[in-house]
Amino acid sequence: MNEQTPHIIDALYQVILQRRDNPSDASYTTALMAKGLDKILKKVGEEATEVVIAAKGGDRDEVIYEVADLLFHTLVLLGYRDIPPQAVFDELGRRFGISGIAEKAARTDQH
User: Could you tell me if residue 1 is inside a domain?
Assistant: no
Measured CA to CA, the distance from residue 68 to residue 26 in angstroms comes to 21
Domain span including residue 96: 7-110
**What pLDDT, in 10s, does the model give residues 85-110?**
999 999 999 988 877 676 677 766 66
pTM equals 0.83
User: Could you tell me if residue 2 is inside a domain?
Assistant: no
Measured CA to CA, the distance from residue 26 to residue 40 in angstroms comes to 18
- Looking at the structure of the chain, the number of domains it has is 1
Measured CA to CA, the distance from residue 31 to residue 3 in angstroms comes to 32
What's the CATH number where 15 sits?
A: 1.10.287.1080
Q: What mean pLDDT is predicted for residues 66-74?
A: 98
In order of 52, 110, 111, the CA distances from 76 in angstroms are 20, 28, 28
